Amino acid sequence: MLQENTAPTGPPLITLHATAANGFQYGAPFSVPEGWVGLITLKNEATDCVGAGQYVADAATLPQLALKARLKPGEQPRKPLALSLYLMPWGAPANISWKADPIAVSAGAHLTYQLSGRSSVRVAHPVVYFNTMQSNLREFMKKLTKESKAMVAGMPIAAQTNQYLKLSISYALENTPALSPAAYSGNPAMRDSVRNSASLAVSQWLAGAGVECLTFDLDSVSDVLPAPCVECKATHKPVAYSIFRRTISLLYVRYGVEKKGNFCLPCAAKVSLFYNVVMLICGWWGYIGLVLAPVYIITNCYHFLKNALGPKAQPPVPVAPAGAWPPPPSV
């Protein structure tokens, strides 16, 4: 599960400096302070990047902007452009603390363990970074809880971009096969291998997003445990990996939903029953639904029975700390 926690330290990697609302328009003068980089965006897409100095927002200074807006040299836009100017400290690193939970399917359930650490990063390619951030954030938001989605969406750009870096590191770690619990298996001797694989995965992912990873410190690697139930979030119940699907069809329109992951038995029964009842009523009112609804009902029943009768990953047995009372009975 992608996690967002711990505020980063260091200067903000990006700051909104000017917009069309406060006079930043095509043909307007603007300046970039020493030690900063100016990033110009059109409709929230980065087009040009300039260093410190005095400029005019025209085709000569911003050729990519003019190309994007289809403007010829000396030509003025017919209507105001949705321009923004962002400032980024050039060469200044940001220090980020992060957590990640790599997941793999093994022994009939999702297994997971937690990595935590710290990284120092620097934006190497501002245009690539900004555009990649916009597209990746939409994907990351799908994986966050409702509370986290609302929090990230309401952040100013400076906080949002740092949040994006933490989510990027978590995503890179959670989608690296060499870091899956099936590969790690809780073997302490493999922790050095985990550390090396994690550093490589983060560096490669961030490089593709226009970011340079300067330092990577892995603080801790926890033991492998079954992931909690995806529905009730309980960690104290036996769980099994299941997939439940639902389709609602109306002539040529179809709405599909899929839930997959660890389910405890009560949640598996609830989700399977609810999805099947909905499909019995609303699943077959279309050509595709006539085929999919029966298939989904059968597969939902199969996964429920597999959950009920098959092997389950058991929650960890709590170990009493040293000196706990009462003491164990003597033999």
Q: What is the CATH number of the domain that holds 159?
A: 3.30.479
Domain coverage including residue 279: 240-309
Greater model confidence, 270 or 156: 270
Q: Are 51 and 90 in contact (CB under 8 A)?
A: yes
d(CA 249, CA 285): 5
Q: Which helix (H) or strand (E) holds 35?
A: none
Cβ neighbors of 70 (< 8 A, separation 6 or more) are none
Q: What is the pLDDT of residues 79-111, one digit of tens each?
A: 888 899 999 888 778 788 888 777 665 556 677
Number of domains in the chain: 3
Does the pLDDT of residue 330 top 70, yes or no?
no
pTM above 0.85, yes or no: no
Q: Based on the fold, state whether residues 128 and 183 are members of the same structural domain.
A: yes
Does the pLDDT of residue 284 top 70, yes or no?
yes
Cβ neighbors of 147 (< 8 A, separation 6 or more) are none
pLDDT in the model for residue 247: 93
d(CA 158, CA 304): 45
In the listed set 46, 65, 89, which residue is the last one of a domain according to the structure?
89
Query: Mean pLDDT highest for which of 102-106, 219-223, 236-240, 305-309?
Result: 305-309
Greater model confidence, 330 or 313: 313
Q: Based on the fold, state whether residues 142 and 258 are members of the same structural domain.
A: no
- Cis peptide bond prior to 326, omega within 30° of 0: yes
d(CA 206, CA 186): 27
pLDDT in the model for residue 189: 63
Q: Based on the fold, state whether residues 72 and 136 are members of the same structural domain.
A: no
Q: Which helix (H) or strand (E) holds 33?
A: none
Q: Based on the fold, state whether residues 107 and 204 are members of the same structural domain.
A: yes
Q: Which helix (H) or strand (E) holds 81?
A: none
Q: Which residues pair with 106 in a beta bridge?
A: 109
pLDDT in the model for residue 35: 86
Q: What is the pLDDT of residues 107-133, one digit of tens each?
A: 566 777 778 888 888 888 888 988 888
